[in-house]
Structure 1
Amino acid sequence: MTRPANRALTPDGLTPTPSSGERFALYVQPHIPLLFATAYSLTRSSTDAEDLVQDTLLRAFRAIDRFDGRYPKAWLLTILRNTNINRGQKKKPYLFDDPNDPAADSIEETTPEDIIVDPVFETAVQQALDDLPIPFRAVVDLVDVNGLSYMEAADLLNIPVGTVMSRLHRGRSRIRLRLAPETIEQRRRGADEG
């Protein structure tokens, strides 16, 4: 019985442990799109998001041998969050489309599909999310935007699952109020008048 070169054996002594590169490919690479989406939501800049993801991937690669293989999404997002904090990244103001843009004109009879693709609605959704208090916004972003489970979000934010659930409920309620039809119509009229 010969061992593969340069490969340690697992505690059972029978199978080789995966190399750092193999572990990185297994645990990290599938989540790179999620890392970029989350980084972009934090930075609002594709260049800054790319830099943040690159720093995160470097830190993940350096720590991959210490990673136990459980909850890779939460592990990576924790590294991303800490990297962002360490970089001193401040949230930059988000520049919305010009409200005087002719594409923002109101349509008398709208279908649900028209509402979803309406630039005024898209702007209102982004503004409603941005205006949430940070604890609510973090949970809504992780669960609703990035698709994490309640447990993964709780692990990442270091809070109980019940707190994730209540913050998610409150955050969604606040967004729902901000997106009431009357509020959207007021925004549309404001865009038409400006």
Structure 2
Amino acid sequence: MDTAKSEQRAGEFATRYRAWLLAQAHNLCRNATDAEDLVQDALLRFIQTFGQLEALPNERSCEAWLVTTLTHLFYDQCRRRRVQAQGAKDPHLSNEVVVEHEPDARPVYDTLTDAQFSEALQTLSPKIRATFELHASGKKYQDIARSLGIPVGTVSKRLHDARARLREFLLRHIQSGVN
């Protein structure tokens, strides 16, 4: 097995999918700098993981691996920031003098769990859920329409409905947790 050629193949695949992965990362974190960092980490892990193999798995498997790894890295980043924010607020964990300021408003969706989001997805009709999941996996409206055999306008409507229903369901969870 030629390790250099394997790493080159993995590197070429990573380079080909970099822009697509960057769009996925930007959808997750809504910050260009953080998205770039996430993509770099995901691609590095991809090359480290698949660079030693004689042949890469099929493209779908590689795409899925990249998106899953990117998502896990994003969750890790969120957890790190939460721990850092909590550590900075606890004067016993910091050597600095802490000046109390008005706390920043915490995004209400930060309180949701993966299980609650999965439960919310299950409330969608199968057609709307399938459309939403394709879009969440990075597919463009035209590609979704083509794969489901529906007009692009129907894709737009289904995604609008999915977002509205998810928002409504998740807000009930948030509000019931506050009360």
TM-score bin (small chain): 0.3 to 0.5
Which entry has the higher C-alpha Rg, 1 or 2? 1
**TM-score, L = length of structure 1:** 0.42
- Where is the helix percentage greater, Structure 1 or Structure 2? 2
**TM-score, L = length of structure 2:** 0.45
Structure scoring higher RCO (CA < 8 A, sep ≥ 6) equals 1
